[in-house]
Structure 1
């Protein structure tokens, strides 16, 4: 193993299961205490958070983003999330002392990252960082398969979540270990079988036996993941059914709905000679068939980059007969719209001849601006792809399939 561990005496191995790897109590950023009434409780809001390490850092000309990978503090929180760093983001230790972001990254520090509840529905989700609290103790994590089950412990062989090295380790379950399946339902340690895939958090102490041993109190188990034959892999691939919203440099961007087997609603796909491109009848097509506004069903593997939108390689693309109409403009207030409709000033100009009213339904995929929400308020600038079927009224009414918010800085704020 390409890794250094804290060395423990053999007699300490049984105590590993009691180590406080990742306590289940959710800590929240300190809130201002109410004044004036000694019996009045502090007003504390339930702030979502991810407990883990920073696995990616992007700093371009105008923005900073970090990816935090680990586990959600609450069942509804994200195991992995991309967070925008703003001037209001705080980086502190457990005593409230400021810690430089670069020191957190360079030291591979474990953090609790609290963020705004307004996050995107992408995978990984994307939001705005509020406070990162550096933890006194670190932990490690492994993605792998259970190769042996014995006496309240499991042998896991796989890859370290953070340094990507090959890993094999015996994990002892703590007395109150949290063990959940892929649906976030609690299961017993006895439900874990050989061949199942797990993500397990352990440490900070690790015994240098062969294989090493440590305690764990948080394990995510995929009870459906079993070995498959090479010919069956394609049946398990994820995918997206939607609209091609951009194409350049051997890549296409697809926005739509994830397939039932998994996937994301917003993905950039690289296209090469290994990508199978066919029509709905299975006839082979060339890359020229992949056009902006065209409808496709794309399938791809589970390995994606940790950026937003996700980037991966397209294994197969089925080109549909349907096509959308692309427009750009600004959402405007109007007495001609009803609930679940928006009036779009196409071209953001003084002309009303080409304006449209978009019907927004549950089938519409809305990609919000970073840190924003899916509400399309007046003043929001958008790029939209809509159905070619439109009423003959002025303005025409049609169904929105994809709406991308390009700017919401001028959007009217709710009262």
Structure 2
């Protein structure tokens, strides 16, 4: 397993199953009851929530967003959700002390994310974060297939939910483990069979035996069907439709629009022999078709590394005929531009012959490569991809498709 663990003696593994659930970060919510007015928990109206790690962070002109991946606090809550972080969002620890969002992301802290009931029907759903509560203990999860059923435990092979690495682990059921089927209904351990797909949360303690062992108190089981080879435990397919901005080291950087069913606007994709590469007619292509500026539609799993930009494996790439023109330069002040335009000194030189005016629209993807605020102020250095269609004026005017902010060192400070 490619991660750091708190090492326990293998001989003590059987005692792990007796650890009280209340002492673990994977606390199971009390049973919900219905009173005709909605779900009531401990006689208090439930606020929907998701507990897990932040697996994606976006901070651009559209706002600040996080993706929380884990499990719903109630069976009906989201296992993954994209939440808008606003000035009203409270981010605190269990004692109510304010915690910096950057600390949570950098240290891979587990959070309970509470949000309003008004969420979108997209996959993953979107909503507004009300409160993020940082947990005292951490956990990880495996998304995979049951390869062996033992007395009080299961052997699961699959992928780590948070880093995408192949994983194999023996999971012992805690005394009060919540074991739910795909519909959120409680099932007995005897209902789990070899070949069923599961998502199980465990830790923080893991015994470094072969295979490693840990205790789980929350497991979701798909009792209806097995997952297909190559897509073990992947609940959702995600994707990005955009422009290739880099092809280095067997990886492709793609910036564009996330699919409605899930995905991110900025992603680094590993491309290997398992990646299907085709043109728009479905004809097979080689990796040579993946070039800087080429438009492509990528499909991938929602399991991504928790860094910026997100990284994952490309299951399919549809290469389109359209290509964008790449320029590099500095945003410059100009009397020739309107509110939704920027003047680019291409090459950051004294010549104006090759300068360009970019139309910035709601479809333009503006990315800060450093993860900060993507503001196109004078003095900002950028890499831009624009439409090959341009006016014959000097400078030429064209539509910006992707703008990457590479430096704000000399950017004009806003008043």
State TM-score, norm by structure 2.
Answer: 0.55
| Whole-Å separation in 1 of the counterparts to 2:204 and 2:312 | 32
Q: 1:362: which partner in 2? A: 362
| Whole-Å separation in 2 of the counterparts to 1:213 and 1:274 | 33
Alpha-carbon spacing, 1:230–1:345, altered in 2? closer, same or farther (3 Å): same
CA-CA distance at 1:278 after TM superposition: 2.5
Matches within 5 A, 1:210-289: 227-230=226-229, 237-289=237-289
CA-CA distance at 1:247 after TM superposition: 2.5
| Whole-Å separation in 1 of the counterparts to 2:275 and 2:145 | 33
CA-CA distance at 1:290 after TM superposition: 2.5
| Whole-Å separation in 2 of the counterparts to 1:111 and 1:23 | 15
| Whole-Å separation in 1 of the counterparts to 2:282 and 2:273 | 17
| Whole-Å separation in 1 of the counterparts to 2:223 and 2:341 | 41
| Whole-Å separation in 1 of the counterparts to 2:380 and 2:141 | 43
Structure 1 window deviating more from structure 2 (266-275 vs 386-395): it is: 266-275
CA-CA distance at 1:292 after TM superposition: 1.7
| Whole-Å separation in 2 of the counterparts to 1:204 and 1:353 | 63
Q: 2:374: which partner in 1? A: 374
**SS in structure 2 opposite 1:352?**
coil
1:21 to 6, 9, 25: 25
Is the Cα contact below 8 Å between 1:196 and 1:225 reproduced in 2?
no
Q: 2:394: which partner in 1? A: 394
CA-CA distance at 1:362 after TM superposition: 2.6
Q: 1:169: which partner in 2? A: 172
Alpha-carbon spacing, 1:215–1:203, altered in 2? closer, same or farther (3 Å): farther
- 5+ residue gaps in structure 2? 2-6, 29-50, 55-67, 83-94, 98-106, 112-123, 125-133, 147-151, 208-212
1:133-160 CA deviation, whole Å, 9 max, x = no partner? 9x8x64433334798xxxxx99895677
Is the Cα contact below 8 Å between 1:324 and 1:385 reproduced in 2?
yes
Alpha-carbon spacing, 1:110–1:410, altered in 2? closer, same or farther (3 Å): closer
Alpha-carbon spacing, 1:355–1:172, altered in 2? closer, same or farther (3 Å): farther
Is the Cα contact below 8 Å between 1:17 and 1:173 reproduced in 2?
yes
- Establish whether residue 338 from structure 1 lines up as the match of residue 342 from structure 2: no
| Whole-Å separation in 1 of the counterparts to 2:231 and 2:203 | 33
Tell me the matched-pair count: 315
Matches within 5 A, 1:48-197: 138-144=137-143, 157=156, 164-171=167-174, 190=186, 197=198
Alpha-carbon spacing, 1:309–1:394, altered in 2? closer, same or farther (3 Å): same
- 5+ residue gaps in structure 1? 25-49, 54-68, 81-93, 97-108, 114-122, 124-132, 148-152, 182-186
Q: 1:383: which partner in 2? A: 383
Alpha-carbon spacing, 1:6–1:414, altered in 2? closer, same or farther (3 Å): farther
Is the Cα contact below 8 Å between 2:155 and 2:168 reproduced in 1?
no
Alpha-carbon spacing, 1:404–1:146, altered in 2? closer, same or farther (3 Å): same
| Whole-Å separation in 1 of the counterparts to 2:26 and 2:186 | 21
**SS in structure 2 opposite 1:296?**
strand
| Whole-Å separation in 2 of the counterparts to 1:400 and 1:344 | 11
Alpha-carbon spacing, 1:392–1:252, altered in 2? closer, same or farther (3 Å): same
CA-CA distance at 1:212 after TM superposition: 6.9
RMSD of aligned C-alpha atoms?
5.6
Alpha-carbon spacing, 1:345–1:313, altered in 2? closer, same or farther (3 Å): same
CA-CA distance at 1:236 after TM superposition: 5.7
| Whole-Å separation in 2 of the counterparts to 1:313 and 1:110 | 21
**SS in structure 1 opposite 2:297?**
strand
Is the Cα contact below 8 Å between 1:369 and 1:405 reproduced in 2?
yes
Is the Cα contact below 8 Å between 2:8 and 2:205 reproduced in 1?
no
State TM-score, norm by structure 1.
Answer: 0.55
| Whole-Å separation in 2 of the counterparts to 1:8 and 1:291 | 51
CA-CA distance at 1:381 after TM superposition: 0.3
CA-CA distance at 1:243 after TM superposition: 1.3
1:24-61 CA deviation, whole Å, 9 max, x = no partner? 9xxxxxxxxxxxxxxxxxxxxxxxxx9879xxxxxxxx
CA-CA distance at 1:359 after TM superposition: 1.9
CA-CA distance at 1:252 after TM superposition: 3.1
